[in-house]
Amino acid sequence: MATTRNDTVDHYLSAFEAFQNDLNGQASSPLNEVRKRALDRFAELGFPTSRDEAWKATDLSPITSTAFIPHVEFPRSVTETDLAPFRFGLNGPTLVFVNGRYAPDLSNPTDEDGVTVTASDEIDPEFGRIAPFDAHALTALNTAFLLDIAVIRIAPKVRVPEPIHLLHYTLPGEAPQLSTPRALIVVEDDSQASVVQTFSGQEGGPYLNNAVTEIRIGENARLDHVKMSLEGPEGRHTSNLLISQGRTSRFTSHTVSVDGAFTRNDISSVLAGEGCESTVNGFYILEGDQHCDNYTLLEHQQPHCPSHELFKGILQDRSRAIFRGKIHVHQAAQKTDAYQQNQNILLSDDARINTKPQLEIYADDVKCSHGATIGQLDEDALFYLQSRGISRSDAYRILLRGFAEDVLGRIELESVRDELTRRVLAKVDRNGATR
């Protein structure tokens, strides 16, 4: 068992040889050449430390103190009963991945009417352009042990009527397992689609989902994106979501973290076309010793681009959250209108939040604002509700629901919104709504 960052890096270098041996003839494929280059870069970078600005407040020991093992073989014991709680009533194209491997029998891919939703083990021409592994250690680790890639392509002038669902499910094994989910999403000019990414798992042991998603949105296109972390109790989850937007495009994202021992969400959106709009929202609710870290970067490169960002969190027990968000306005990005806000409720004296919203502005004709709040439930509001005949436990629940729905209520997919709200309220109830 590895105990230091250097030991853990060495572990993955050693594990790569066994991984190669299990590829069954794929060791000479173009993808494997990319794997080798990514592993070399991971060895050079190592895991992030507190000296890295983006990781300054994050304790990475839940990732670096355990030697997670990559597996090539597909686990056969997953059934539709296991997946049912994570389907959310979505009936559109669906790709299911179990421990990082594509499960065709549980999936509903499509390749017709300008919509391609499929899994591939080949290098797409756009693979790695938006999410290169050169500067990001966990992206390099993802690429080094990559197996099946979820590929979504929407042709120009196509409106996809049903949400597309990428469902990742993890079965813990006897040893800690590493999965490397990867997705490439391309929405061409004048098209519109919704994509839901769900990361879930069973209890029974530690595992790591190290996910990377790269998205390109064409001119005048729209993508609504929901990403949910519903991992098992000992699940570790790291995610790097990168987006490039074309002229007058619109991107809306909701990142919701409910379960899992450790969660790190990296979200970087490049507003590369004039007049495009980006909305990046998030919500997290933590209990016990759970940790959730959200890092966002909105790169305003062109003029007349609005962006909106709201992250909210509820922390209980000894949990810890970190929010670091940056709005970077380049010199050419005149007429930028950007807003960033992080709001937190602490329900325990032992819960902690580290929040740092930032603005970095090089243009002189902009409208930008940011802020953060940390507090407890308002006793006056609780008293007011109780004075109207509502019990303290119900008043407590009403206030927390209202706080959460400020973000969850913006999710347009009703079945997803309702199920997430149910899970959040169940977590509140488990931790003593009668306090």
- Read off the pLDDT of residues 29-68 as tens digits, 9 standing for 90 and up: 888 899 999 999 999 999 998 888 888 888 899 999 999 9
Q: Is residue 348 in some structural domain?
A: no
Same domain, 258 and 385: no
Same domain, 262 and 382: no
Residue type, 146: L
> Is-above-0.75 flag for pTM?
yes
Cβ(256)–Cβ(280) below 8 Å: no
Q: Is residue 336 in some structural domain?
A: no
Structural domain ending residue among the three candidates 230, 251, 273: 273
Structural domain ending residue among the three candidates 252, 273, 294: 273
- Kindly report, residue by residue over 79-106, the tens digit of the pLDDT: 899 999 999 999 999 999 999 999 999 9
**Count of structural domains within the chain:** 2
Structural domain ending residue among the three candidates 273, 293, 327: 273
Same domain, 251 and 399: no
Same domain, 216 and 71: yes
Phi and psi dihedrals of 305, rounded to 5? Answer: -115, 115
What b/e readout covers 138-172, taking b as 16+ CB neighbours within 10 angstroms? Answer: bbbbbbbbbbbbbbbbbeeebebeebbbbbbbbbb
Same domain, 61 and 208: yes
Name every residue whose Cβ is closer than 8 Å to that of residue 283 and which is 6 or more positions away in sequence. Answer: 254, 255, 256, 257, 311, 312, 313, 404, 407, 408, 424
Task: Determine how many CB atoms are found less than 10 A away from the CB of residue 191.
Answer: 25
Q: Which domain holds residue 408?
A: 378-435
Distance CA 66, CA 46 (A): 15
Q: Is residue 189 in some structural domain?
A: yes
Same domain, 259 and 125: yes
Same domain, 245 and 104: yes
Q: Is residue 210 in some structural domain?
A: yes
Q: Is residue 217 in some structural domain?
A: yes
Report mean pLDDT in 10-residue bins for the chain, 435 residues: 66 91 72 93 92 87 92 82 94 95 95 95 90 94 95 98 97 91 98 98 93 98 98 96 98 97 97 97 96 97 97 96 96 96 95 94 95 92 91 90 94 95 87 53
